Amino acid sequence: MNELMRLQKFIAGAGICSRRKAEELIKKGKVKVDGEVVTELGTKIDPDTQSVEVEGRLVCEAGKKYYIMLNKPAGYVTTTADAHAEKTVMDLVTDIKARIYPVGRLDADTEGLLLMTNDGDFANAVIHPSKKHEKVYIAEVKGLPMLETLRILKQGVDTGEYITKPARVELLKGNSKTSTLKIGITEGKKRQVRIMCETVGHPVIALKRVEIGPLSLGNLPKGKWRHLRKEEIDRICSK
């Protein structure tokens, strides 16, 4: 069963107005749910299955699915709501008239490719371990990893809590001060790439995710988003 939400809370969360103003609009008969005027403040709705209009403006279209690629900047928290966070990824996709959510996570200090949707089947196709979608990162690290260090990163790093699965690792460039690595992993443990690099003595300075399975960030500007194309959705779900 989908989670129900108070109508005024949903309207406020969609950025239409404050919750108090939403309550006023409801009492004045300015809000419709599934085409019917609603004036009861205690009304609860399911944004995934019900349409909502405010003063004739469609806020949520029932049944419509969204598949979004966002280039997340550093400093944004990957969550739909966090009372302690100044900025969340939801602040970057306010034009979407549906309750979407991030697929997986990116650390606040990590930037790059983040998928967002309101389709649970799609989200599961992205993150389920059986799909083995590789996530590729570009990591700027301290120092210059030697061949043995690169071998350890590729074969599996013993972090003290777990041993990572084999990874795809390529040294793109480097010197004694900093190096750039391309790292592909099929796991999704918390802060995994950062922990891997720190464990082998090369802490991450900056980290960016550029690919998830067949999807590539490309030249999407930082802080911007786009809808996935049908063929991209099909490639993710068909694996």
CATH number of the domain where residue 105 is located: 3.30.70.580
What pLDDT was estimated at residue 178?
98
- Whole-model pTM: value is 0.77
Instruction: Summarize pLDDT for 176-211 with one digit per residue, the tens.
Output: 999 999 999 999 889 999 999 999 999 999 999 999
Give the Cα separation of 85 and 34 in Å (integer): 34
Cα–Cα distance, 235 to 229 (Å, whole number): 10
Same domain membership, residue 195 and residue 96: no
> C-alpha distances in angstroms, 102 versus 45, 115, 119, 149, 200?
21, 6, 11, 33, 30
Domain count of the chain?
3
Strands across the sheet with 31-33, in order?
36-37, 31-33, 52-54, 57-60
Q: Which range (22-36, 60-74, 83-97, 155-169) has the least confidence?
A: 83-97
Integer Cα distance of 207 and 110 in angstroms: 5
The stretch 86-109 carries a mean pLDDT of: 86
202 or 61, higher pLDDT: 202
* 159 vs 28: CA distance, rounded Å: 60
The catalytic site residues sit at 107
Answer yes or no: is pLDDT of 213 > 90.
yes
Residue 14 sits in the same domain as residue 26 = yes
φ, ψ at 104 (rounded to 5°): 75, -165
Task: Please check the confidence at residue 174 and state whether its pLDDT lies above 50.
Answer: yes
Range of the domain at 34: 5-60
pLDDT in tens, 214-225: 999 999 999 999
| Strands 67-72, 111-117: pairing kind | antiparallel
DSSP string for residues in 18-32: -HHHHHHHHHTT-EE
Verify that 157 and 113 share a domain, yes or no.
Answer: no
Check whether residue 126 and residue 227 sit in a common domain. Answer: yes
Q: Residue 189 belongs to a domain with what CATH number?
A: 3.30.70.1560
Q: Are residues 230 and 124 in the same domain?
A: yes
Is it the case that residue 48 has pLDDT exceeding 90?
no
Give 77's DSSP letter. B
